[in-house]
Structure formats: C-alpha cells, structure tokens
Amino acid sequence: MAALEKIRKRAAILTIVIGAGLLAFILEEAVRASGAFTSDTLAAKVGSEKIEMQEFQNKSQEMQKQQDPDSKTDPAVTQQQILQGMIQEKLVSQECEESNIVVTGTEVADLMTKNPPQSIIQLCQQNGVDPQTLLNTLKNPGNINPNDPGFQQVKALYESEAQNMELQLKQAKLATLLMGCLQANDVDITLTKEESDVYDITYAKVDYTTVDDKLVKVTDAELREAYNKYKEVFKLDEETRRVHYIKVDIDPSSKDKENATKKVDAILAALQNGNGIEGIRNNSDIVLDSLTTTMNDKSLFASNGKSVPKDDILKQLIEGGKNTCSKKEPTGRDRDTYIYKVTSTFESIDSIGLDMVLVKGDKQRQDSIMDLLAKGMAIDSVASINDVQVQKSNPQQLARAFQLPDSLRTKINNNADGKFFVFQSSNESAVLAKVAQSKSKTTFYNIARAKFTDYPSEATLDGLRAKLQKYINTNKDIAAFEKNAKKEGFEISEQLIDPSTTQLGAQQSQFGMMPGIKESRRAVKWAYENKPGSISQIFDSDTELLVVAVDAAYKDYMPFDDPTVKKQLTDLVMNEKKGEYLMKQYKGKATNLEGYAKLMKVEKIDSAQVSMGAPQQMLEGKVAGLIAGLGAKGKGKLQIIAGRRAFYVVQVNNITPARELPKDQLATQYRQQHFPVQQMFQSILQGSRKIKNNLIKFS
C-alpha cells in the first residue's frame, strides 16, 4: 500500500514505472499488416459463434505493435497463430459456459500477483515495484491522470496478460473436469499395474530399409486393397490441393556484393575516424540503434562464471574499450552487415533494490522524517507515522541501473552507502530512499550499431525475373512446366496444401515447424482460386520469386492415385511383405538369440528395458505390446516378430514387477496413460465444434 501512494503522489516515479518499463515491452513501431480486411466478413466461425474480421484485425494489429521491428517472422504465420488462438479461446469459453465453469476476477488477480507472467515480472524488476503494487496502482491511480498514454499502455499490457491468465485458469479447470470423466474399474487398474512391469530384453533386429525392394513384389491390386482397408486414414476435413512450384532466390550478384563492400568499408572508416556516430548519422544506407551492456548480461554472455561473450564481436568491442569499432559479416543468404562502435563507458551499480519512504507534507515535515531515518529509526516504525508510507525492496525484483534516467542513476551511485537520501521531492511531498540491495559496481558499455543491408540491384532482379518469365511463356501447360524445370536450372518442388497452409516449403521436424518461403501465403491463396492445370504469374518478395502450378484438388478423401497416398501404401505393403519374407527365411532355423543374430548377419545384439506404461524409445509399440502380452510366460522364450518397420528376434531375460501402489494411485495412473488430457486437450476441443477458418480469403 505504501508503494501505491509513492506512485500515486509522485509523477517522477510514475515516469519510471510507465517509461522505462514500456521501453522493454511496448514497441511503438507497427509492423506492416499483411492482407486486406473487411469489417463485415467473418474471419472464422466456431460452432454458432462468429469471429468478426474487425475483431481479428484489431488483435492482429495489437500483436504487431509488440513485435520487434527487426523481426523476420512472416506476417501470414503470425496471423494464422493469432486466429488459432482466438478459435481456441472461443472453444474454451463455450465449453466452460456449458459446464458451468467460472473463473472470477479475484482468482485471476490473485494468480497475477502470486505467479505473474514473465513480462509483468520484468516490468516490475526494471522499476523496483512488485506485481501487487502495480495492480493496486492500475485499479486506483489516485493523482495519476488515467488518460496518460503511458499509463494506458501499461494498463493495456497488464489487462492483456490477465486475459491470458484467465484463459489458462479456464483450461486448467476444464482439463480437470475432463480427467474426472474417465473412471478406472478393477480390470483397468490391473492392466495399469501389468503395463508398469519392466521387461529386460535382448534382441536382434533387421530394418526393412536394408532389405532389397526387388526381393518382394507389390501389385496394384494389393495397393488398392490396402487403400480400401485404410481409407479413413486419408479422409480430409478441408479441401486439399497438390501443387508444384518453382522458387528462385533473389540474391545480390557478385557486382552487387562488390559495391556493398565498398559502402560498408566507408561506413566503418567514418565511424572509426569520427566523434561518436556523427560520421554516419545521416547515412541513408543504414539503420542505427544502440544497446547498453555489461559483462554480466546473460542475454549476451554465456553464464559459465567467466562472462565469455556469446558473440566474438562483442568480445572485441569490450576488450578494446571506448571508440573501438568492429563489424559482423553476413552468413549464408543473410544480407545484413552490422558495424559496431563503443561510444562511451561508465561505472555504475549493476542492479539495485531501494527501500523507499513516501512523505506527504512540506519541506519541514520531509526533513523531520529524514532526520528520524538518519538517526536509525527502522523503516517499519516510520510506516506507522501519519501520511508516511513505505515500500521495501524485493530481492527477486532488482532494477537494472542503466535503464534509469541519468540523473537518478547518478544520485543512486552517489548514495550507495546504505543511508537514506532524497530521491525525489517537491513542496508537497518527497520520496526518501536508500540502497538496500545492490550488485557491485561494474563497467557499462554504450554500443552503437549500424545495420547495412545488401539489396540486389534492379539489374540483378530484372535479369532473374526475365529468365523465369521466359520459362513460363515457353512451358505453358502443366506437364511441360513440371518436366522441364530442372533442365533449365530451376528448383521445382511438390507439396500438398490446405487452407491453413501459411508458407510453401514449411516442414515439421523434431524441433517443431521449420519455416518455409516467406510471403508465399499469396501463392497458396491463388492456388485455391484457380482450377487444376493453372499456372500462376510470378509472385515476388524481398528474397524469392515464386511461380505455382495447381495439379489437383481433393475434397472428401485423398484419392488412391495421389503420389503421396501411393507412396504411403507402397511402403506399408512392401514392409508387410518384407516381414513375411524374413519370417520364412529365419523362423525355426536357430535355437537361441545368438544363432538368429548370426543368420541375420546382425553384428551386435542390443538390449532394452520395455514397459508398456512408458513411451517406447528403442522398439515399436507393436513389438513392445507382443512382448508384454505374454507376461511372465514369456520369460526366457524367443519371440520372432515381424514389426511394421523391422524384423525382430527378442528374448525376455527378466521381469521386474511394478511397485505396489494404492488403487486410487493406480486409477490416476491409468487415466494419465490412457487419457492424456493435457496432450489431447486442444484436439479434444477442436473436435467438439464445427470450425470454419476463412483466413485464406484475406491473405
């Protein structure tokens, strides 16, 4: 409460809270919005509830304001993520309403203060306040003008995070309800216990990929039979299209690079020979920015106790000190060269925590309270005096000194001895403070950075475009377009797309979705607006030229003759036949695992621990299931198994029974293993309503 008065009474303190904090979290520059919007058109429909395009546009622009201006994220990817988030929010709200699940404002406020999101934690750390103080100030700003733009921006940030917190609470309550819907009976509990038994096995394995495809024959009739058997696997929720596309990279020519090198050298020389950044301040070829750092900055330096810079450029700069210049060359297809200069250095406390006392009254009253503090009166005792409020520092929320205005930072450095001093004052009130906690003084480096981008010249771009246009004019039908591309030196790719595809060429990997061709959403939209057999005009971006050809459109099911379907079916049937082939080759022709390994020409017998209640890393789920299916009867026996991807000979050497658990714990374990709500939550909700995503119309 004391800190509330501190912020309420002193405009200077408000400046710190809503000024320095906003530098880190609210960016004024808006990134160009992608696409055309119309306010009377739906962006999506979730069940019977609509997401208006204007609502989506507002959310999208909000997000763009918070993005780093240098971000290279494709706007189409961001927009799709935003709309999916809005759809998820609608789904959660609808389910909660039907299930009478309520999240109160008190619950949200309590969690925001006890477990605040990272953005709020950082905002508070930078300004020496705690989340509760920030919340109190936003609820009751007192003498602060509630229409102040800075105050409104802080409030908007807090409210946005509070909305996210409310959604998380709703999801948690809904997940708990869903989990409770699944009850385990005695059979389920017994099954859970058995699935937790651990099987120590040794095995020999032959991957089907090592078996020559010529040893088995797959007929078209067998593929059709497999298609009919697994047809539901190929069912489509949305219309899917197959396309081919040619991508031409727009890279600077050798002449362009020579010209760029000359310009970069001139910029570096101007920095080296000039005072500060005066020599390059008006250079239209560069973008200027700056950073202030210390050797303790974990975002720039490795946290290995040695403060080793993650970037060699920073190491050179800091070792060289003031006026040191350096540059960082682009790598790969990156076009940006960065030129750095240490413009100044200063010594300052790294981070601080202040005990603060707000005194309401004239100078005489302010001096009397300062006198009491100087004589050693405890801050808690001072808090009991009328018109005096206090706020103690929080060791978890120290403010970075370099982010404070110069005048305040100087005052703090000059009063780092732990004694109270006048932080701010007027004729009506004062803020008295002392440095209660601090990290020792260190050297700060103010570093200017100039970014130079090597753009291809118009002549380079015109040449690339002319070559691609000539190819399109020469190969007007889709067969020729796809057949002759490589011969003419063009890279051609094939892809299945759906209305949610944001980029051509994006791929799923173990690290998540790998980005594809930036700004290719326009080509995806074009492919849905034109018939199979059509070839597009040239789409261009800063880095690629793109031409798309539509091969086919599928509405209900992926057809049997689609190349992807054919490939999947061929692999499936061929693996089944390879399993049968290897079974005939080896079954019954050895008496122990070593003998089978020798026949199979397996150099090493592997070992593993198998538990059906845990994800299988070494073996296929089918194989693990067959091993566990025999239970204790399988111990010591050889099992010969044709899996889906490999042929196995397995021996169970030992079985370790699962630890005895109470029935209620086994029941919980059963629900977690067989009904993983957290992992399935989004797909469960997606399947509960009919969802229409119209974003492709506005790409």
| 469-493 pLDDT, tens digit each | 999 999 999 999 999 999 999 999 9
Query: Which pLDDT value is given to residue 5?
Result: 33
The two tokens of residue 629 are 């299916």
How far is the C-alpha of 425 from the C-alpha of 366, rounded, in Å?
A: 9
* Dihedral over alpha carbons 475, 477, 483, 485 (to 10 degrees): 40
The two tokens of residue 45 are 């429909």
Architecture of domain 236-251+457-556: Roll (3.10)
Q: Which of 574, 534, 525 is nearest to 552 (CA)?
A: 534
Query: Which pLDDT value is given to residue 220?
Result: 94
Confidence of residue 307 (pLDDT cuts 50, 70, 90): very low
Q: Which of 92-96, 233-237, 508-512, 531-535 has the lowest mean pLDDT?
A: 508-512
Provide the CA 55 distance to its chain's centre, in angstroms.
24
How far is the C-alpha of 412 from the C-alpha of 390, rounded, in Å?
A: 18
Provide the CA 36 distance to its chain's centre, in angstroms.
26
Confidence of residue 47 (pLDDT cuts 50, 70, 90): confident
Query: Which pLDDT value is given to residue 562?
Result: 93
Contact 623, 643 (CB under 8 A): yes
Whether 21 shows a pLDDT value over 50: the answer reads no
**Residue matched to tokens 């808090």:** 383
How far is the C-alpha of 315 from the C-alpha of 320, rounded, in Å?
A: 8
Report which secondary-structure segment, H or E, holds 339. Answer: strand 336-349
The pair phi, psi for residue 27, each rounded to 5°, is: -95, 130
How far is the C-alpha of 258 from the C-alpha of 507, rounded, in Å?
A: 35
Maximum CA extent, the chain = 104
Amino acid (one-letter) located at 431: V
Written in H, E and C, the secondary structure of 368-430 is HHHHHHHCCCCHHHHCCCCCEEEECCCCCCCEEHHHCCHHHHHHHHHCCCCCCEEEEECCCEE
494: three-class secondary structure by DSSP? strand
Report which secondary-structure segment, H or E, holds 622. Answer: helix 621-629
Whether 102 shows a pLDDT value over 70: the answer reads yes
Mean pLDDT of the chain: 80
The two tokens of residue 646 are 């490999």
Contact 551, 244 (CB under 8 A): yes
Confidence of residue 181 (pLDDT cuts 50, 70, 90): low
- 194 vs 150 pLDDT, higher one: 150
Q: Which of 58-62, 405-409, 557-561 has the lowest mean pLDDT?
A: 405-409
Could you tell me the sign of the dihedral formed by the alpha carbons of 464, 467, 473, 479, in that order? negative
| 354-392 pLDDT, tens digit each | 888 888 888 888 999 889 988 888 888 888 888 888 877
Whether 252 shows a pLDDT value over 50: the answer reads yes
Query: Which pLDDT value is given to residue 305?
Result: 43
Provide the CA 16 distance to its chain's centre, in angstroms.
30
Region 297-312: mean pLDDT is: 51
Whether 2 shows a pLDDT value over 50: the answer reads no
Region 148-177: mean pLDDT is: 83
Contact 647, 235 (CB under 8 A): no
Whether 15 shows a pLDDT value over 60: the answer reads no
- 134 vs 97 pLDDT, higher one: 97
| 261-279 pLDDT, tens digit each | 999 999 999 988 888 888 8
Q: Which of 436, 439, 399 is nearest to 420 (CA)?
A: 436
Amino acid (one-letter) located at 212: D
Whether 511 shows a pLDDT value over 70: the answer reads no
| 684-693 pLDDT, tens digit each | 777 677 888 7
| 431-472 pLDDT, tens digit each | 888 887 777 778 888 888 899 999 999 999 999 999 999 999
Q: How many CB atoms lie within 10 A of CB 176?
A: 11
Query: Which pLDDT value is given to residue 19?
Result: 33
Contact 271, 280 (CB under 8 A): yes
Written in H, E and C, the secondary structure of 49-111 is EEEEHHHHHHHHHHHHHHCCCCCCCCHHHHHHHHHHHHHHHHHHHHHHHHCCCCCCHHHHHHH
CATH class of 351-439: alpha beta
Angle at 596 between CA 595 and CA 600, to 5 degrees: 120
| 317-333 pLDDT, tens digit each | 777 778 888 888 887 77
In the chain, which segments carry CATH 3.10.50.40?
A: 351-439
How far is the C-alpha of 298 from the C-alpha of 321, rounded, in Å?
A: 20
How far is the C-alpha of 593 from the C-alpha of 638, rounded, in Å?
A: 7
How far is the C-alpha of 444 from the C-alpha of 408, rounded, in Å?
A: 16
Whether 409 shows a pLDDT value over 90: the answer reads no
The DSSP bridge partners found for residue 665 are none
